[in-house]
Structure 1
Amino acid sequence: MFIIAGLGNPTRDYEGTRHNAGFEVIDALAEKYNIAVDTKKHRAYIGKGMIAGQKVILAKPQTYMNLSGESIKSLVDYYKIDTVSNLLVIYDDISLNPGQIRIREKGSAGGHNGIKNIIAHLGNQVFLRIKVGVGQKPPKQDLADYVLGHFTKNEEEKMQEGYAHAVIAAERILSGEITSAMNEFNRKKKDE
C-alpha cells in the first residue's frame, strides 16, 4: 500500500494558493481514479482506492502546512507504511518555475517548513517526493505572503499543466518506473 500525501492548508481561505499545490494534485488524482477524499482520520482527509495496480491512500493533511508531519506520521504508523518506498509527498517549490516538476527519492527540506516537519516526525529524510514549481518570490516580497498568494492567469495555465504532469509522475512511481519518470521530468526544458 502507498500513501500519497499532498501538502497544503485547510479552509477555503487557502484554496488556489501557491502553498496548496499538493492539495491540487491530490484532487486531480482523486478525480481521475474516482477516489473520494472525504474521510477525516489521522488529522487529514483521506480516500482509499487503486492507482496503477497499487492500493493507495490519498491524503490531504488538515494540520496546516507547518505541522504536516503530525498527520503523515500518524498515517504511516497506523498503516505500517515503509516510508522509504511507499510514501509519496507532493508539495510546492519556489525554486522551480510555475508548473515545472521535480521528483526526488530523498533530501533535505530545502527551506520548506512542511517537509521540515515531516522529516522531524519521521526521523529521516528518505521518502519519495514530487515538487511542483510555483515560481520564485519577487524581491522584497514576504515569503509567507507570496506562498499564500494566488497565481496570475498565465501562471495558472502553467500550473494546470504541472498538476497533470505530477499525476503522470505519481502513476509512474506507483508502477515502479521512478528512474524513467525522473529522467523525463527532472530535465530542464528549453524555455526554462
Structure 2
Amino acid sequence: MSKFLIVGLGNIGDEYAETRHNIGFKIADQLASSSAVKFSTERYADVAELKHKGKQLILIKPSTYMNLSGKAVNYWLQSEKIEIENMMVLVDELALPFGKIRIGPKGSDGGHNGLKSIQETLNTNNYPRLRFGIANEFNKGGQVDYVLGKWNEEELKTLHERIKIASDSIKAFSFIGLQRCMNEFNNK
C-alpha cells in the first residue's frame, strides 16, 4: 500500500487555533474528520492515519512550532519510510487571493518560516505543497499581525467550503498523482 505524509503547518496553542497562519492545521483537521479519524499526540506532532482508495495517508500537525517544522517532517518521513515525492505540505500563502489553492511540485520558501525550516532540514525545496491563499491585506509593517490574526467575517463565509476543496485535493493527490491533481484543482 502506498504511503503519503500530509503535513499541515501551524502553531500549537489555543491562541493560534483560528489564525490565518494555521490553515495547514485546519485542512489536516478537515481531512481527518471527513474520514472519521482522530489525531493523537506522538513524537514532534499530532498524528492521524486514514486510508483512501488503497492509499495510506499519515497526517501530521507538527508540535514543534512553525520555525522548527522541518524536525517533525524529517522524523515522520524517516520513521514511516515515505519518499519525499509522496509528501505534501499544507501552508498559508500571502501571494494568493483568499481561498485560492495552488498545488505545485516545488518552490521557494517565500519567506515562510515553516517552509524555510523544512527546506533547511531536508536540504531541498523539491517537495509537493499546497498553498492556501490568505491574501495580503495589511499595511506596511503589519504582516505578522495579519498572518497571526483571526479570519474576518467575510472570509469566514466561505472558509469551510475552501478548506473542503483543499482536503479533497489531497485525497486526489494520493490517488491520481501530483500532475493530474494540479490540473484539476489549481483553478478551483
Say if 1:98 and 1:158, in contact at 8 Å, map to a contact too.
Answer: no
In the alignment, what sits opposite 1:18?
Answer: 20
In the alignment, what sits opposite 2:42?
Answer: 40
Q: Secondary structure at the match of 1:151?
A: coil
Which letter maps to 1:25? I
Identity of aligned residues (%): 37
Normalised to the residue count of structure 2, the TM-score between the two structures is 0.93
In the alignment, what sits opposite 1:3?
Answer: 5
In the alignment, what sits opposite 1:92?
Answer: 92
Alpha-carbon deviations, 1:22-45, whole Å to 9, x = none? Answer: 00000000001112111322x100
TM-superposed CA distance for 1:118, in Å, is: 0.3
Say if 1:134 and 1:159, in contact at 8 Å, map to a contact too.
Answer: no
Q: Secondary structure at the match of 1:175?
A: helix
Q: Secondary structure at the match of 1:125?
A: coil
In the alignment, what sits opposite 2:57?
Answer: 56
Which letter maps to 2:100? Q
For 1:71 and 1:137, the matched residues in 2 are separated by: 31
Alpha-carbon deviations, 1:94-135, whole Å to 9, x = none? Answer: 111111100011111111110011010011111111111111
In the alignment, what sits opposite 2:118?
Answer: 118
Structure 2 unaligned spans of 5+:
none
Say if 1:99 and 1:161, in contact at 8 Å, map to a contact too.
Answer: no
Equivalences for 1:100-115 in 2 at 5 Å? 100-115=100-115
Task: Report the number of matched residues.
Answer: 186
Which letter maps to 1:181? C
For 1:72 and 1:177, the matched residues in 2 are separated by: 21
Equivalences for 1:178-189 in 2 at 5 Å? 178-187=178-187
For 2:20 and 2:62, the matched residues in 1 are separated by: 16
Q: Secondary structure at the match of 1:90?
A: strand
TM-superposed CA distance for 1:164, in Å, is: 1.0
TM-superposed CA distance for 1:157, in Å, is: 2.2
In the alignment, what sits opposite 2:154?
Answer: 154
Q: Which moved more, 1:51-60 or 1:175-184?
A: 175-184
The runs of 4+ residues in structure 1 deviating greater than 6 Å are: none
For 2:59 and 2:112, the matched residues in 1 are separated by: 21
TM-superposed CA distance for 1:141, in Å, is: 4.2
For 1:91 and 1:45, the matched residues in 2 are separated by: 17
Structure 1 unaligned spans of 5+:
none
Which letter maps to 2:75? S
In the alignment, what sits opposite 1:66?
Answer: 67
Aligned-residue Cα RMSD (Å) equals 1.4
Say if 1:99 and 1:160, in contact at 8 Å, map to a contact too.
Answer: no
Alpha-carbon deviations, 1:142-188, whole Å to 9, x = none? Answer: 2111110011111122322221111111011011243232123323x
The structure-2 alpha-carbon separation of the partners of 1:52 and 1:134, relative to structure 1 and needing over 3 Å to count, comes to farther
Normalised to the residue count of structure 1, the TM-score between the two structures is 0.91
